[in-house]
Amino acid sequence: MNSSDLTEMVRAAKRVYIIGNGGSYANAMHMCNDLLARNIRAYTLDPATLVANANDHGFHNSFARWVLVVGEPGDLLIALSGSGKSLNILLACEAAERLGMTVHKIFGAERGENMQQAEEAQIKIGHELWTQLAS
């Protein structure tokens, strides 16, 4: 899938939710802020709610729990993961799909990238998206 396809997904979505772990979480926040600058209703889980969810429901359920509370059909979940193996990201994708949300995964391992390449690709995709949404 190319960035034009993702651009159309974002344009069609009611709301966009973006998740990731570690450096991918920082990239999710960056991408969210860029989308907000383009007047897209975009959200990521704030750190306080993330750790509260992790404390109450286990870290593996932290994003899935959030998606189940806020997500609706017609929303888009963008999931960032360098490895593509993070259980909390995979469970959130499953939860989003059960709700009828569109899910777009940016997983580096699926493209044969190491962690650094994966996180660089996430930023690149986010910046391409930002540029395409301006047109």
Q: What is the CATH number of the domain that holds 121?
A: 3.40.50.10490
CB under 8 Å to 56, separation ≥6 — which residues?
none
> How far is it, in rounded angstroms, from Cα 90 to Cα 125?
20
Q: Tell me what percent of the residues of the chain surpass a pLDDT of 70.
A: 98
Q: In what order do the strands lie in the sheet with 16-19?
A: 42-43, 16-19, 76-81, 102-107
- The yes-or-no verdict on residue 64 having pLDDT over 60 is yes
Q: What is the pTM of this model?
A: 0.94
Q: Tell me what percent of the residues of the chain surpass a pLDDT of 90.
A: 81
**pLDDT, position 1:** 56
Please give the structure tokens belonging to residue 72. Answer: 């609706």
If we measure between CA atoms, which residue out of 74, 76, 70 comes closest to residue 1?
76
> How far is it, in rounded angstroms, from Cα 101 to Cα 64?
13
Which ranges constitute the DSSP H helices of the chain? Answer: 3-12, 23-37, 47-57, 62-70, 87-99, 115-133
Determine the structural domain holding residue 42 and report its residue range: 3-133
How many Cβ atoms are within 10 Å of 27's Cβ, its own excluded? 24
Q: How many domains does the chain have?
A: 1
pLDDT for 83-120, tens place per residue?
899 999 999 999 999 999 999 999 987 777 788 888 99
